[in-house]
Amino acid sequence: MADTPQAGQILLEPDPAIIRAGLIEAVGWELGAKTLDPQIAYLIAGAGTSTPYAVSHRILDAFPFSQRRLQGWLSERKVGRLTVKKRGFPLTPEEVRARVKLEGDAEATIILTRQQDRHIAIAVERL
């Protein structure tokens, strides 16, 4: 299992066929990546990792999830368009977007997930 994600690392979102085939750890081993959580289909790797078996995202920021903290992050960056992805997180992307105020011209992608027993938010940009 990976440590807490850090800015500059790569979050890999495995292809659904890889997930269904149970090959997440095999892909991780091939790339030198670790699972974010044993129950969640995300991998964390060093910079520059790329594969046809997963969508690669550069991690911009990561923090324990709270609505207040997410709102602060979005407001600070003047985010007006937000894409929310989730795995192992109790709220739907629509519920999350409805609970935050989006003002500005910037665009952001936030991945909401679980690592061990805590929910985390990971801001990413697709590579």
Per-residue pLDDT of the chain (127 residues; tens, 9 = 90+): 768 899 999 999 999 999 999 999 999 999 999 999 999 999 999 877 778 999 999 999 999 999 999 999 999 999 999 999 999 999 999 999 999 999 999 999 999 999 999 999 999 999 9
pLDDT of residue 50: 79
Helix (H, G, I), strand (E, B) or coil at 53: coil
Token pair, residue 33, equals 């990546």
| Single pTM value for the model | 0.93
pLDDT of residue 2: 66
Beta partners for residue 80, in sequence order: none
CATH tag, 1-127: 3.30.2130
Q: Rg of the Cα trace of the chain?
A: 14
∠ CA 47-3-8 to the nearest 5 degrees? 25
